[in-house]
Structure 1
Amino acid sequence: MANEALDWISVGRVEDLPEGRVKTVTARTTSICLVHFDGQWAAMDNRCPHQNGPLGEGSIEKGVDDQCWVRCPWHGWDFDPLTGKPPGGHEDTGQKMFPIDLRDGEIFVGLEPEPEAPRTISDAMVETFVNWGLKSVFGMVGHSNLGLAEAIRLKVGSKDLKYYGIRHEGAAAFAASAYGKLTGMPAGCLTIAGPGATNLLTGMWDAKVDRAPVLALTGQVQTQVLGPGAFQDIDLASAFAAVSRFSQPVLGGANAVELAALACKNAIINQDVAHLIFPDDVQTVPSDKPASHPQGRISRVDVTPSASDLEAATDKINAAKRPIIIVGHGAFDAREKIIALAEKLGAPVLTTFKAKGLIPDDHPNAAGVLGRSGTPIASWFMNETDLIIALGASFSNHSGIEPSKPIIQVDYDRMQLGKFHPVDLPIWGEVGVFCNVMTARAKPHAQAEDQVTELADRWRIWRDEKTTRLSEDHGTGLHSAAVFKALSELAPDDAIFAVDVGNNTYSFGRYLETKGTQRVLMSGYLGSIGFGLPAALGAWAATQDFDALKGRKVISISGDGGFGQYPMEFTTAVKYGMNITHLLLHNGQLGKISKEQRAGEWPVWETDLVNPPFSAFARLCGGVGEKVTEADQIVLVLKEALSAKGPALVEFMTDAELV
């Protein structure tokens, strides 16, 4: 009868291990060599005392008198499978043996009850992260972060945290960046020292330049070998200095909890990257420090502009006959207040590409995206306006806000005000507060032109133009306009789009018409190819963490060039059952670069791609994969993919010239 004082852990079934074989199994965290010989079963410590060789990868050998021995595969040390004792000639240490019990063909190994683990620095810091609002971590567990990973594992086990094991740390960085852009709260990135940490850097730059909060948690070599050039020892403080607002090594218990709190505070308040370096040996140092909480450490964000600025803005707005509002991604939280002001003024609302969807395109005041990825509607009203009200916009050259026009600019970051050129009225304050005041004070000019009716006319012209473009057919693939026309109609009103970089991005900006509360995530200022699919992982994780996002459909979009950057993250989506639909516009080339080469009178060179059948790849990964080659297939296949449970990929064979 099994000893009831022990914890009996299942390690497999009898059919898993044939007679005369050994195998490595794990009970809790204990590595065990499971032995099956002469109808008998035994279990011993898997580590050979010589050099920790894995006995479970060895063999059973018979010696004199048919004595059986478990032989280590590394250097041939032998052990009695029933007693764990070595024969003469070796150190008489012997292997620890574990009781074994067979129950209805299932194999159980008995372990002493697990003692309560001592609280470590990592435990105290991870508890602090959770208290400050960390809900999800993306990363890869490895040899120089195991102590920190164990603290995360315990919080995952207690349902206080979620963890997503990715295939490449670069994807973890993009996922966390997208999560921060969508929620305003940081997700974590867990990596090992050396290459694991450096793989984060592109995604960290994406987060930094687009003002997304991220918590980077990098392992490091042991402090005793830090500096001279040990294996995977690089200067992580220098590597992350430019990309992070806060970067510190964790070197002892006295300040570890405070470092965790400051990292979270910097990420949340500054909407930036915070980085902590965890030397391997420090991660498991015992700690009795209580975890930190954010109470009393973060203020409200309702910054009211000065009275004189509000007076000046009121005068300018009420004097304008053709005012327009241009909104950037920084104004997204104030969307309802912006729309109320636009309705009061009868003003068109133009968005930067990053802010696409802030006002749905089916709203009477919507003018679409301004700039290179935008619509002729937005360009028209930019040209005709007599006052620009710019809210949370960064004035990038991609958007092309006309600096010669009278401009009121409102931003909560004073450095953004008049950053690239003077504006008529720079106003420091929170966009929502400004809009509330202006909506109350605004009195449209008596001779104000009817821009809302004009907007409807301009939309009709543009939609007719899009319909005309659908008839273009070179016989070499689908028109991307047809894909985005179907997506405009079929995507849920609250869908979250994660968009990659390339021709697919320009087509998305021009042709997709947003509706409802749809959101768009992109690699804005960095413009990094490969963002789309990893960003969808981050967006989906956010839908699991925040009640306001629960149930929202995540749709990612890329070309074949972008998808090829992180294709194996499709298996991450399969592993965690992520309800993501990926639209892949496959044209066999880096189409945007080909166009730039032609426009610059360069020869088209090295932009062609050799690709697998991506739809088949998706199916091999365990998801849904469909291929579309004809226009009349688009709606049906897209509808089925959007309704699929779990990850789905639709491969649209497109013409690189029809964008």
Structure 2
Amino acid sequence: MTEQDLAWHKAIDADALDDGEVTMCPAGLKTVALTKLDGRYGAIDNRCPHQGGPLGQGTLENDKIRCPWHGFDFDPFTGEAAGGPDFNVRTYPVEVREDGVYVGTPTPAPHPRTVSDVLLETMTNWGVDTVFGMVGHSNLGLAEAMHRAETAGKLRYFGIRHEGAAAFAAAAYGKLTGRPAACFGIAGPGSTNLLTGLYDAKSDRAPVLALSGNVDSSVAGKGAFQDIDLLAAFADVSVYSAMVRSGSDHAELMTMALKHAILDRGVGHLVLPDEVQILEAPEQKSSGPQGRMPDLRVSPPAAALQQALELIATATRPLIIVGAGAKFDMPAVVVLAERLNAPVLTTFKAKGQISDAHPLACGVLGRSGTPVASWMMNKADLLLVFGASFSNHTGISPYKPIIQIDTDPMMLGRFRPVAVPVLGDVGVTAAAVLDAVRPNPALVDQRPEIADRWSVWRTEKARRADKQLGGRVAAATVFEELSRLAPADAVLTVDVGNHAYSFGRYFETTEQSVLMSGYLGSIGFGFPAAMGAWAAAPDRPIVAITGDGGFGQYLGDFTTAVKYDMNITHILLNNGELAKISEEQRSAEYAVWQTSLHNPNFAAYARDCGAYGRRVTDAQDLSSAITEALSHPGPAMVEVLTDPSNH
């Protein structure tokens, strides 16, 4: 090797290494074991050829470097191994200069295209450009391919503090956009930590790609370190899960994972053994969605549509209920509602899909809902249900005639028969009904009644918001102020707990999008979901709404938001208790037990992390605090002390 072939890198300062000491030093992309012995410096490859032990973490004994893992001895200047020439390691030239000790390493050769590159190219061809994850020892080959894709501007990678946060962020991204983001972990616990967030995606039918590094195939199944059967672990949570092997059609496996995630609206999962990630694949072609994705906007069958039209023609007080399945088709549904003078109620998951300022909007139906919605449902003589799952929390009346419209045949009449099950795209079906509907001549204009019910409810909300709690702020006050101040185009991510019920009742939406852990109801969702929403829509205001219990589960990832300068405003309702559980214990006539929480000053914690943080104990300060936080360019937290018995 000539001098011209070398790249020189400063390893350490000249006085940093004592005589008789060895240390690990980065030298470009190489890591060397650098030794100072009798005033001389020597640099050899840091990796022991036995099992990769870090020689720079070893000791100098008898003028030899002893590997810390298995005791192999190496000459610090020649790289010769006591075990014979088959174990010799490479040496690198060293120069002592005025400003430090330099090591010369070969100029890196062009990186060969690998299986991981093929997978990443296919993933980005499908439009997946966002990854939340944690890099570790069994996913380094795939991580390096992500690094190359990020450098090329094809990928954004967000390193999180807990893989559960990565999965929640990816799930929220899918819920907001209908498109998958990826979450990424290592073998064993790194991948099992993903499962709760992935079950949230499964339960709420959000597309997500999960990528798991795995142990080397040669030790898999032998009880090696972090060796678990990831295909078995992910079998229930995923709609597709596959092991990527050396002889696999790698691009097609990624295409299968993403096609299933998008069309089945769930988790596509791939497992990559350590050695497969770095296999060279110079001739393999990447894949993509071209010619693989059907138009899903299918029309309803003519007979079912006719049945629905005939039933609508008999109704004088029809009512529309929309679920999260109608999220991307609300304009067509609203036009139909206006034609029928039909009140529009939402499930909790669908909150915000119609502005509460619309004269036909009645807010949320069910346990988290408004008395406006329940009143109007009780008066209805026909329910048109678009994209809803009939959860027991929603409380759709089973005693009224129901027309149910959904793209999934298994959702139709899911729990009990409905009058007319209609298989079809929500938007296409709403437009088809609008085009052919002949309303009952006696159709009631329900707008005045809706306005009256809102007037009654808003008066009651104002009464509750005026309560003075002495060092605490009423939840109704928090959401009255947030209703007034939240930008119309904001994305609101809501955690699980009493604050969520208060949000459902009291917060009035305009054009905001609302994300929550609907069917899984997982505490801890709120703040990681805000990170996912920010990645999906960085130009929109993002507001996380959590309790102290939920935020406590992922408070470490507040530093992730600071690291990436995520513009997230966090409204944290701190009542010092898992108050919803306390309520359930009282309801069951149990003693309240083990629901109290020992909390830090969360606002101070936010400031310690490098963000805006302000604690509010007086309702008079709430407006200015929320206003300041919303205008802060970066992560901001308003911690509001609330009363656990008031929501």
Normalised-by-shorter TM-score class: over 0.9
Residue type of the partner of 1:231? F
TM-score, normalised by the number of residues in structure 1: 0.91
| Partner secondary structure for residue 257 of structure 2 | helix
Whole-angstrom CA distance in 1 between matches of 2:423 and 2:517: 26
Contact 1:335 1:358 in 2 (8 A): yes
Aligned to 1:337: 332
Residue type of the partner of 2:550? G
Whole-angstrom CA distance in 2 between matches of 1:102 and 1:418: 79
Confirm whether residue 635 of structure 1 aligns to residue 629 of structure 2.
no
Whole-angstrom CA distance in 2 between matches of 1:355 and 1:16: 64
Aligned to 2:406: 411
| Partner secondary structure for residue 638 of structure 1 | helix
Q: CA RMSD in A?
A: 2.7
Residue type of the partner of 2:528? P
Aligned to 1:257: 251
Choose the corresponding residue for 1:648, options 622, 636, 640.
Answer: 636
Confirm whether residue 573 of structure 1 aligns to residue 568 of structure 2.
no
Q: Structure 1 residues 297, 382: closer, same or farther in 2, change over 3 A? A: same
Choose the corresponding residue for 2:598, options 610, 631, 644.
Answer: 610
Whole-angstrom CA distance in 1 between matches of 2:316 and 2:517: 36
| Partner secondary structure for residue 578 of structure 1 | coil
Give the drift of 1:79.
Answer: 5.4
Aligned to 1:126: 120
Aligned to 2:359: 364
Q: Structure 1 residues 650, 106: closer, same or farther in 2, change over 3 A? A: farther
| Partner secondary structure for residue 603 of structure 1 | coil
Contact 2:79 2:88 in 1 (8 A): yes
Contact 2:74 2:82 in 1 (8 A): no
Aligned to 2:319: 324
Whole-angstrom CA distance in 2 between matches of 1:27 and 1:368: 61
Contact 2:115 2:250 in 1 (8 A): yes
Choose the corresponding residue for 1:520, options 514, 523, 541.
Answer: 514
Contact 1:19 1:38 in 2 (8 A): no
TM-score, normalised by the number of residues in structure 2: 0.92
Confirm whether residue 389 of structure 1 aligns to residue 377 of structure 2.
no
Whole-angstrom CA distance in 1 between matches of 2:451 and 2:10: 68
Whole-angstrom CA distance in 1 between matches of 2:377 and 2:101: 73
Confirm whether residue 226 of structure 1 aligns to residue 220 of structure 2.
yes
Whole-angstrom CA distance in 1 between matches of 2:43 and 2:631: 49
Deviates more, 1:90-99 or 1:193-202: 90-99
Deviates more, 1:428-437 or 1:71-80: 71-80
Give the drift of 1:27.
Answer: 3.4
Deviations 1:519-541 (Å, cap 9, x if unpaired)?
11111001011111111111111
Contact 1:43 1:99 in 2 (8 A): yes
Confirm whether residue 156 of structure 1 aligns to residue 150 of structure 2.
yes
Confirm whether residue 25 of structure 1 aligns to residue 25 of structure 2.
yes
Contact 1:411 1:427 in 2 (8 A): yes
Q: Structure 1 residues 396, 448: closer, same or farther in 2, change over 3 A? A: same
Q: Structure 1 residues 94, 344: closer, same or farther in 2, change over 3 A? A: closer
Unaligned runs of 5+ in 2: none
Contact 2:327 2:350 in 1 (8 A): yes
Confirm whether residue 180 of structure 1 aligns to residue 174 of structure 2.
yes
Whole-angstrom CA distance in 2 between matches of 1:50 and 1:284: 20
Aligned to 1:594: 582
Deviates more, 1:590-599 or 1:33-42: 33-42
Aligned to 1:423: 418
Give the drift of 1:395.
Answer: 0.5
Whole-angstrom CA distance in 2 between matches of 1:329 and 1:51: 52
| Partner secondary structure for residue 218 of structure 1 | strand
| Partner secondary structure for residue 553 of structure 2 | coil
| Partner secondary structure for residue 402 of structure 1 | coil
Whole-angstrom CA distance in 2 between matches of 1:293 and 1:281: 25
Contact 2:131 2:181 in 1 (8 A): yes
Contact 1:122 1:151 in 2 (8 A): yes
Q: Structure 1 residues 471, 404: closer, same or farther in 2, change over 3 A? A: same
Choose the corresponding residue for 1:502, options 473, 497, 500.
Answer: 497
Confirm whether residue 46 of structure 1 aligns to residue 46 of structure 2.
yes
| Partner secondary structure for residue 298 of structure 2 | coil
| Partner secondary structure for residue 297 of structure 1 | coil
Give the drift of 1:110.
Answer: 3.9
Whole-angstrom CA distance in 2 between matches of 1:10 and 1:444: 81
Confirm whether residue 204 of structure 1 aligns to residue 198 of structure 2.
yes
Aligned to 2:229: 235
Deviations 1:498-545 (Å, cap 9, x if unpaired)?
1110001101111111112x11111100101111111111111112xx
Whole-angstrom CA distance in 1 between matches of 2:15 and 2:364: 60
Aligned to 2:288: 293
Give the drift of 1:117.
Answer: 2.2
Confirm whether residue 347 of structure 1 aligns to residue 335 of structure 2.
no
Residue type of the partner of 2:359? P
Give the drift of 1:60.
Answer: 8.9
Residue type of the partner of 1:256? H
Whole-angstrom CA distance in 2 between matches of 1:55 and 1:120: 28
| Partner secondary structure for residue 612 of structure 1 | coil
Q: Structure 1 residues 58, 438: closer, same or farther in 2, change over 3 A? A: same
Contact 1:54 1:72 in 2 (8 A): no
Unaligned runs of 5+ in 1: 64-68, 544-549
Aligned positions, number: 641
Give the drift of 1:647.
Answer: 1.3
Aligned to 2:550: 562
Whole-angstrom CA distance in 1 between matches of 2:498 and 2:14: 54
Whole-angstrom CA distance in 2 between matches of 1:88 and 1:256: 42
Q: Structure 1 residues 346, 142: closer, same or farther in 2, change over 3 A? A: same
| Partner secondary structure for residue 635 of structure 1 | helix
Deviations 1:597-642 (Å, cap 9, x if unpaired)?
1122111111111111111111222222211111111111111111
Whole-angstrom CA distance in 1 between matches of 2:7 and 2:364: 62
- Percent identical residues: 52
Choose the corresponding residue for 2:646, options 637, 652, 658.
Answer: 658
Choose the corresponding residue for 2:608, options 612, 620, 628.
Answer: 620
Aligned to 1:191: 185
Contact 1:322 1:451 in 2 (8 A): yes
- Aligned pairs (5 A) from 1:46-125: 46-47=46-47, 54=54, 56-57=56-57, 74=68, 83=77, 93=88, 96-100=91-95, 105=99, 109-125=103-119
Deviations 1:528-571 (Å, cap 9, x if unpaired)?
1111111111111112xxxxxx4101111111111111110111
Contact 1:344 1:442 in 2 (8 A): no
| Partner secondary structure for residue 505 of structure 1 | helix
Whole-angstrom CA distance in 2 between matches of 1:106 and 1:521: 54
Q: Structure 1 residues 562, 16: closer, same or farther in 2, change over 3 A? A: farther
Q: Structure 1 residues 22, 648: closer, same or farther in 2, change over 3 A? A: farther
| Partner secondary structure for residue 31 of structure 1 | strand
Give the drift of 1:8.
Answer: 4.6
Aligned to 2:435: 440
Whole-angstrom CA distance in 2 between matches of 1:363 and 1:280: 55
Give the drift of 1:25.
Answer: 3.2
Whole-angstrom CA distance in 1 between matches of 2:557 and 2:488: 26
Give the drift of 1:453.
Answer: 1.9
Confirm whether residue 451 of structure 1 aligns to residue 446 of structure 2.
yes
| Partner secondary structure for residue 555 of structure 2 | coil
Contact 2:548 2:573 in 1 (8 A): yes
Residue type of the partner of 2:314? A
Give the drift of 1:255.
Answer: 2.1
| Partner secondary structure for residue 187 of structure 2 | coil
Residue type of the partner of 2:121? E
Whole-angstrom CA distance in 2 between matches of 1:335 and 1:207: 22
Residue type of the partner of 1:574? V
Contact 2:59 2:66 in 1 (8 A): yes
Q: Structure 1 residues 343, 38: closer, same or farther in 2, change over 3 A? A: farther
Give the drift of 1:113.
Answer: 2.2
Give the drift of 1:45.
Answer: 3.3
Whole-angstrom CA distance in 2 between matches of 1:245 and 1:651: 39
Give the drift of 1:249.
Answer: 1.1
Q: Structure 1 residues 315, 100: closer, same or farther in 2, change over 3 A? A: farther
Deviations 1:16-49 (Å, cap 9, x if unpaired)?
9477676533234311345689999775533467
Q: Structure 1 residues 226, 48: closer, same or farther in 2, change over 3 A? A: closer
Q: Structure 1 residues 107, 431: closer, same or farther in 2, change over 3 A? A: farther
Contact 1:58 1:70 in 2 (8 A): no
Aligned to 2:474: 479
Aligned to 1:66: none
Q: Structure 1 residues 116, 495: closer, same or farther in 2, change over 3 A? A: same
